[in-house]
Amino acid sequence: MTSLIPAGQPAATPSAAPVKQAPPCTLVIFGAGGDLTKRLLMPSLYDLATARRLDDGFKVHGVDLAQQDTDAWRKSLTDTMQSFTTDKTAEFYVPKINDESWKWVTDRLSYQVGDFSQDETFAGIKAAIGDGSAIFYCAVAARFFGTVVDGLGKAGLLQQTDGMFRRVVIEKPFGSDLPSAQALNARILQHAEESQFYRIDHFLGKDTVQSIMAVRFGNGMFEPTWRREYIDHIEITAAETVGVEGRGKFYEPTGALRDMVPNHMFTLLSMVAMEPPIAYDAEAVRSEKAKLMQAIRPLTPADAVRGQYTAGAEFGKPVPGYREEPNVAPDSRTETYVALRLHIDTWQWAGVPFYIRTGKRLSGRKTEISVHYKPAPYRVFGAAATTPNVLRLLIDPEEGIDVQFAAKRPGPEMALGRVVSSMRYKDYFDERPNVGYETLLYDCMLGDGTLFQRADAIEASWAALEPVLESWSKGEGEVESYGAGSSGPAGADTLLAADGRTWTKLVD
């Protein structure tokens, strides 16, 4: 039996309910010295340790080219963790690191210098993990995903026996188009079963994203109207105020569409538009997501608008344009903003347009889904009195739900006014530090693939975007300019105006 409280961690209060611990395993991190490991994976392991979700037998084995030993790696990670206590803008912020919890994690670290393309690297990993269960995390550039899995397969590290599991976590982007995604799937599936691969999208680790399913399928008041007869259109927005933040080398061949749409944006799309699953289990949920992705009508170039930010001001401070960023070509055509109009060819959503936009250096930071309902079929109080009914699912930075509707203004006349009913998660639930990876790592240890992407869903998402990507690869279409600190290119407004609609404002 596994212990409920790992050694060296704070004891639970008498009223605390026992928590389910993940089974013992070794987490092998390829790219142990990288930014993802420092900023997201280690804070997540710290949170899981603090919550007593990890077994005493849990270990972390880091692999990277950087010439250092375990003590140096441990110190580097500790320094980064401590830096989070002084930066309230960090994705992970706590005023103080719990020394006992962090020591519990660092006591279980080991480090190996290794080249992902060399057989001896995988021989060293095999010796480190022995015959126990293991999760192999590809926290590396996408070009190494296939190389790492090839090495694992060749070394026999993906073979499973009764009571012992071997799983691989692969980060996004999974491919850069449909052919590359298909090729990568075919390559990795030569070495292991589909059930052993966990294609991760940290958006799905956020409680507010998971709550979309809870709101839809856990209540009786929403789902009956969640269809074409009642909904006019749906907007999905992921707007950032930051630029590429020194990632020009990565961003140049990638762009906003590849970076955000087939993963983050389509993740939100699937949560808001999928059919109800028959049960909340991995295959039922993932099958519904895959069906939704397969039902997206392939986009045409006329359904897409792309833009690139120019020099401007953000919060009153001057900022450079994209082409002035480090490692960006002076004549770059890479988009930092994309707006899409798409249709889902199902009985439930026929005729309902979905509008997606995401970009950098915009006027406001906002991730949300806005569900716009059709007006009442007969306007008793006249057209002028109509207030659009909008349900807003707020994901970041606010976390909650807003419902906009009409109510009578005080006074003797029947005059209607716009009102908003708001719910914020922090008003009802305890806030906990969360970078989005805690739930995903924990679920992977448990073997629960509900929140991970399946091969067929990923390929279907790329298939929907393929006509646009092919057109852009030929140099077709305009890359519009938009000033940093604005709401985006004018073409995005035109895209909706053609349908008689407008975007929700980025800044309320």
d(CA 492, CA 449): 36
| Cβ–Cβ under 8 Å, residues 50 and 434 | no
Residues 460, 464, 465, 470: is their CA dihedral positive or negative?
positive
Residue 160: the pLDDT is 95
d(CA 248, CA 328): 5
The whole-number average pLDDT for the span 443-462 is 96
The pLDDT confidence band at residue 208, using thresholds 50, 70 and 90, is confident
With a cut of 80, say whether residue 311 has pLDDT above it: yes
pLDDT in tens, 224-282: 999 999 999 999 999 999 999 888 999 999 999 999 999 999 999 999 999 999 999 99
pLDDT in tens, 368-398: 999 999 998 888 887 666 788 999 999 988 8
Residue 156: the pLDDT is 97
SS3 72: helix
Residue 414: the pLDDT is 86
pLDDT in tens, 392-451: 999 988 899 999 998 888 999 888 889 999 999 999 988 777 788 999 999 999 999 999
Number of H helices, E strands in the chain: 15, 17
The pLDDT confidence band at residue 11, using thresholds 50, 70 and 90, is very low
d(CA 452, CA 167): 13
Percent of the chain past pLDDT 70, that is, above it, reads 96
With a cut of 90, say whether residue 6 has pLDDT above it: no
| Cβ–Cβ under 8 Å, residues 169 and 135 | yes
The pLDDT confidence band at residue 10, using thresholds 50, 70 and 90, is very low
- In which element (H, E) is residue 503 found? none
Token pair for 350: 């026929």
Residue 310: the pLDDT is 98
With a cut of 90, say whether residue 305 has pLDDT above it: yes
Q: What are phi and psi of 161, to 5 degrees?
A: -130, 170
The pLDDT confidence band at residue 360, using thresholds 50, 70 and 90, is very high
The pLDDT confidence band at residue 113, using thresholds 50, 70 and 90, is very high
Residue 378: the pLDDT is 85
Residue 220: the pLDDT is 94
With a cut of 90, say whether residue 221 has pLDDT above it: yes
Residue 338: the pLDDT is 98
With a cut of 70, say whether residue 5 has pLDDT above it: no
Strands (E) in 228-363, as ranges, are 231-239, 304-310, 312-314, 317-319, 337-342, 354-359
69 burial type by CB count under 10 A (0-12 exposed, 13-18 middle, 19+ buried) = exposed
With a cut of 50, say whether residue 23 has pLDDT above it: yes
The pLDDT confidence band at residue 309, using thresholds 50, 70 and 90, is very high
Residue 385: the pLDDT is 63
The pLDDT confidence band at residue 8, using thresholds 50, 70 and 90, is very low
With a cut of 70, say whether residue 3 has pLDDT above it: no
Spot the catalytic one: 202, 233, 264, 372. Answer: 264
With a cut of 70, say whether residue 141 has pLDDT above it: yes
The pLDDT confidence band at residue 87, using thresholds 50, 70 and 90, is confident
Whose CA is closest to 42, among 75, 9, 88, 15?
Answer: 75
Residue 7: the pLDDT is 36
Task: Clarify whether 202 is annotated catalytic.
Answer: no
The whole-number average pLDDT for the span 113-122 is 96
More confident residue, 33 or 417: 33
With a cut of 50, say whether residue 73 has pLDDT above it: yes
With a cut of 60, say whether residue 294 has pLDDT above it: yes
Domains of the chain and any CATH numbers: 26-171 (3.40.50.720), 204-430+454-498 (3.30.360.10)
C-alpha distance from residue 241 to each of 302, 308, 313, 475 (Å):
27, 13, 10, 28
Lowest model confidence (mean pLDDT) among 295-304, 363-372, 427-436: 427-436
Residue 224: the pLDDT is 94
With a cut of 90, say whether residue 15 has pLDDT above it: no
Residues 343, 349, 352, 355: is their CA dihedral positive or negative?
negative
Highest mean pLDDT among 153-157, 212-216, 434-438: 153-157
CA angle 306, 311, 312 (to 5 degrees): 105
Residue 93: the pLDDT is 83
Residue 417: the pLDDT is 87
The pLDDT confidence band at residue 203, using thresholds 50, 70 and 90, is confident
Residue 21: the pLDDT is 95
